[in-house]
Structure formats: structure tokens, C-alpha cells
Amino acid sequence: MTEFENTDNVPLAEQKKVALAYLTQAWGDAVAEGVESDILAHAALFAALSDLVASYGEEAVAELAATLEDRIHNREFTVGRTIQ
């Protein structure tokens, strides 16, 4: 699958997998062009949060953001990294 013209019959897990593949490729391209990962991360967070606010409103996104502290402490976002 390379396009999402009609996602009605595509499982959500598959859509997420493809979306992450696109983002990973774009991230790698930007790093290869010299953009620092932390700058990319801030830009990605801004883009994601502003898109969610446009779709769901500030209150819903603020509620989502309030859950992030515990999720970070629970290592939900720690991928392939050993912390010493």
C-alpha cells in the first residue's frame, strides 16, 4: 500500500504501520540533509499537536498531552535504547 485514497477497508494497525514508515523515511532524509534530530522532534511534535487541535480541539489534545508524562515514565516511547 502506498496511498490512502480509500482507507475504509484498511485495518487501523496497517494504516499506522504505513504512516510510521513514511515518517521514518522523511526523518532519515532530513537527518541526511543535516537537520538535527532534536529540531526534527520539536517540529514533528508541533505539526502533530497542531493537526490534532485542528481535528479535535484544544481540550481533547490537552487531555491527551496530560497522559504523556506517565507514558514516558513507563517507557512507552523508549525504543531500542539502553539508559545507563
Task: State pLDDT tens for residues 19-64.
Answer: 999 999 999 999 999 999 999 999 999 999 999 999 999 999 999 9
Work out whether the CA dihedral 38, 17, 80, 27 comes out positive or negative: negative
Q: What is the pTM of this model?
A: 0.74
In this structure, how many other beta carbons lie within 10 angstroms of the beta carbon of residue 44?
14
CA distance 16 to 1: 12
Label residue 84 by pLDDT band (50, 70, 90).
low
Residue 3, pLDDT above cutoff 90: no
Label residue 80 by pLDDT band (50, 70, 90).
confident
